A and B are shown apart, each in its own frame.
Chain A
Amino acid sequence: MNYSLTGILGAALGLAFLSQTAVAETANDLAQSPRSAMLAQTCAGCHGTQGYLQNSAFMPLAGMPTTQFVTAMKSFANGSRPSTVMGPLAKAFSEDEIKAMAAYFAQFPKNEAQ
């Protein structure tokens, strides 16, 4: 779809249509992209659905600032942060994938009790 057509239709159809064709990759889009959910949900077996902990031995991910998530994953992957299980897992993800997961978890309100 070219730009001018997007403009015409967008004006005609309003927001419902715009949300599907928006080109700019905002943080919100990244957080809500199915691909982000696809990657992030692999963590839920330990870290809880959407990163809400069910056992506080793990790190809560829901509402984690993206910088903290990205720093943690990178330092697990390069070994500067020692770990049990996270080192092997963190190595698997590309930089973009880590950012996508970070955006996914950051969109949820933090549970302050965790």
Chain B
Amino acid sequence: MDTMNRRNFLKLTTAATAAAASFSAGTAFAKDAAHVVVIGGGVGGATFAKYMKMYSPETKVTIVEKNKEYQRPYGSSEVVVGRLDMKDITISYDALKNKHGVNFVFDTVTGVDYDTREVKTAGGTTLKYDRLLVSPGVSFDYSQIPGMDSPEAQSKIVHGWDAGDQLLTLQKQLEAVPVDGTVVLIPPPNPYRCPPGPYERSGLIAQWFINRGDKNAKVIILDPKNGFTVDVTMLQAWNRLYEFNLPESFKGYTAEERATFKKYDKPGKIQWIPAAEGGRVVKIDADNKTVECEAGVFKADMINLIPPLKAGKIALDMGLADKSGWCPVDQKTFESTIHPNVHVIGDACIAGQMPKSGYAANSQAKVAALQIKALLAGQEPIEPAYQNTCYALAGRDDYGMFVADFFRLKNGVITRDEFARYLPFNASDAQYRLSAVYLHAWMNSFTQDIFS
């Protein structure tokens, strides 16, 4: 008995001394400090790195990212309509490096050895990890859309759904649309990044035409779906702002609510053709700018196609995705169910009922940081909590809306708490205006929570 206690005592004392040493060492890492390697410096990867260092300063965190600066996709449709410049959506990694002590390797990942836990980059760097976190964003799948298979077609019709120069291409294409012209916008099928985004962009473009003085220019949305996040708030707004006629097939309103909609004699500045009314696109002719959908053929002056999405290419190459094109994970820790010690967060992972959004990636990153801290210490992961808030504009800069959800893990699946998630149908003018103010305030706050 005496010996036992003494042994335990020694063991624990050693542990305590080691802990004290690593604290006093400050930012200089103890020899056996855990190393977490992060692939991708977007919303998920950057948030994770910052919070991991905050929760566990002794852990070494290295982000491998190909770009020296980040361009945020959230809110980037405002670049298309010229409300923001590229520099407004470009963010520095300096604070993560200098303030939070995150290491950066600006390079592309070329290999991973899951047995020896090593990541290799094109520049020849080898990084050994205790845990690997992959936050690769999305890639785009044109294979299902006849006419869009060639690089040439894809250079003429761009998505602008991952920031970058495509936003400027869209901006130029929009400016080139003749007076009273037509833009066809094609949202992707579920699941996809930023659920309200394609509709917000449609509204922004309709408003851009109005500001230009066009009376008859229009945006036609050809949709493979029959509804979308914030649809009930968005469609009501369009009816008020853009002479939008509500499709007969739309099921989101009560009869009483539907009766408050104005009916316009001709198609308005925004038309939405859902799948139920033939919105599914069957073929695109990029040269002649025509789109054939089940309802007929549309001639456009500009086409913005957001094709079906999959997990980011690196996740596909690393064998982290399943047949769906997305990455299955233990939704409590975001650890891959395919490769242990590897976590996948953000748009690329399958996260139950959570949407693929910036806020969701940010929330998942914080959950992953706490869980990986526990796992590295040999402890059980704790009960997780997740949130998503997406703001969107109807088009005009002073008409905002949102979706707000809280999620819990139920039977291993991230499940939305069933509460009202939108502004009420009879929301007041003040609520729409304040939501628009909060949208812009959020862009700022959110960016700082990730990168500052």
Do the two shown chains form a genuine complex with each other?
yes
Within residues 94 to 129 of chain B, which ones have a CB less than 8 A from any CB in chain A?
none
Asked if A38 and B370 make an inter-chain contact with CB atoms under 8 angstroms apart, the answer reads yes
Q: How far is the CA of A17 from the CA of B16 in the complex (A)?
A: 9
Say if the beta carbon of B419 comes within 8 Å of chain A: yes
Asked if B444 and A42 make an inter-chain contact with CB atoms under 8 angstroms apart, the answer reads no
Say if the beta carbon of A35 comes within 8 Å of chain B: yes
Say if the beta carbon of B384 comes within 8 Å of chain A: yes
Q: A22-30, A62-70, A86-94, A106-114: which lies at the B interface?
A: A86-94
Q: Do most interface residues of chain A lie in helix, strand or loop, or is the interface mixed?
A: helix
Q: Do most interface residues of chain B lie in helix, strand or loop, or is the interface mixed?
A: helix
Say if the beta carbon of B145 comes within 8 Å of chain A: no
Q: How large is the interface on A (under 10, 10 to 19, 20 to 34, 35 or more residues)?
A: 20 to 34
Say if the beta carbon of B452 comes within 8 Å of chain A: yes
Q: Contact partner of A92 among B16, B359, B419, CB < 8 A? A: B419
Residues 56-95 of A, flagged 1 when their CB comes within 8 A of B and 0 if not, give 0110000000000000000000000000110111011100
Q: Contact partner of B387 among A34, A58, A89, CB < 8 A? A: A89
| Nearest chain A CB to B91 CB, angstrom units | 13
Known contacts A46-B446, A55-B445, A85-B404; A16 and B16 CB within 8 A of each other: yes
Q: B170-178, B319-327, B433-441: which lies at the A interface?
A: B433-441
- Nearest A residue to B12 via CB reads A13
Asked if A34 and B370 make an inter-chain contact with CB atoms under 8 angstroms apart, the answer reads yes
Q: How far is the CA of A55 from the CA of B449 in the complex (A)?
A: 11
Q: How far is the CA of A35 from the CA of B385 in the complex (A)?
A: 9
Query: Inside 8 A of B402's CB, which chain A residues have their CB?
Result: 84-85
Asked if A92 and B448 make an inter-chain contact with CB atoms under 8 angstroms apart, the answer reads no
Asked if A55 and B441 make an inter-chain contact with CB atoms under 8 angstroms apart, the answer reads yes
Within residues 423 to 444 of chain B, which ones have a CB less than 8 A from any CB in chain A?
423, 431, 434-435, 437-438, 441-442, 444
- Nearest B residue to A97 via CB reads B385
Residues 363-376 of B, flagged 1 when their CB comes within 8 A of A and 0 if not, give 10011001001100
Say if the beta carbon of B9 comes within 8 Å of chain A: yes
The count of chain B contact residues (Cβ–Cβ below 8 Å) is 49
Asked if A38 and B367 make an inter-chain contact with CB atoms under 8 angstroms apart, the answer reads yes
Asked if B417 and A38 make an inter-chain contact with CB atoms under 8 angstroms apart, the answer reads no
Within residues 1 to 48 of chain B, which ones have a CB less than 8 A from any CB in chain A?
5, 9, 12-13, 16, 19
Say if the beta carbon of B256 comes within 8 Å of chain A: no
Asked if A34 and B382 make an inter-chain contact with CB atoms under 8 angstroms apart, the answer reads yes
Say if the beta carbon of A12 comes within 8 Å of chain B: yes
Asked if B12 and A54 make an inter-chain contact with CB atoms under 8 angstroms apart, the answer reads no
- Nearest B residue to A15 via CB reads B16
Asked if B449 and A39 make an inter-chain contact with CB atoms under 8 angstroms apart, the answer reads no
Say if the beta carbon of B55 comes within 8 Å of chain A: yes
Say if the beta carbon of B71 comes within 8 Å of chain A: no
Asked if B385 and A54 make an inter-chain contact with CB atoms under 8 angstroms apart, the answer reads no
Asked if B382 and A46 make an inter-chain contact with CB atoms under 8 angstroms apart, the answer reads no
Asked if B423 and A38 make an inter-chain contact with CB atoms under 8 angstroms apart, the answer reads no
Q: How far is the CA of A47 from the CA of B442 in the complex (A)?
A: 9
Query: Inside 8 A of B12's CB, which chain A residues have their CB?
Result: 13, 17
Query: Inside 8 A of A34's CB, which chain B residues have their CB?
Result: 55, 370, 373-374, 382
Query: Inside 8 A of A41's CB, which chain B residues have their CB?
Result: 51, 363, 366
Query: Inside 8 A of B370's CB, which chain A residues have their CB?
Result: 34, 37-38
Within residues 405 to 419 of chain B, which ones have a CB less than 8 A from any CB in chain A?
405-406, 417, 419
- Nearest A residue to B431 via CB reads A84
Q: How far is the CA of A34 from the CA of B370 in the complex (A)?
A: 7
Query: Inside 8 A of B255's CB, which chain A residues have their CB?
Result: none
Known contacts A12-B9, A84-B431; A92 and B406 CB within 8 A of each other: yes
Nearest 7 CB-CB pairings of A with B: A92-B406, A42-B387, A54-B448, A57-B441, A55-B441, A92-B417, A41-B366
- Can you spell out 25 A-B residue pairs with CB atoms less than 8 angstroms apart? A13-B9, A13-B16, A35-B382, A38-B370, A46-B438, A46-B446, A48-B445, A48-B448, A49-B448, A54-B444, A54-B447, A54-B452, A55-B442, A55-B445, A57-B438, A58-B438, A58-B441, A84-B423, A85-B404, A87-B420, A88-B419, A91-B419, A92-B419, A93-B406, A97-B385
Report which A residues bind B (CB closer than 8 A). 12-13, 16-17, 34-35, 37-39, 41-49, 53-55, 57-58, 84-85, 87-89, 91-93, 97
| Extra contacts besides A35-B383, A54-B449 (19): CB < 8 Å | A13-B9, A17-B12, A38-B367, A38-B370, A41-B363, A45-B363, A45-B445, A45-B449, A46-B438, A46-B441, A46-B445, A46-B446, A49-B54, A49-B452, A55-B444, A57-B441, A85-B438, A88-B421, A89-B389
Report which B residues bind A (CB closer than 8 A). 5, 9, 12-13, 16, 19, 50-51, 54-55, 359, 362-363, 366-367, 370, 373-374, 382-387, 389, 402, 404-406, 417, 419-423, 431, 434-435, 437-438, 441-442, 444-449, 452
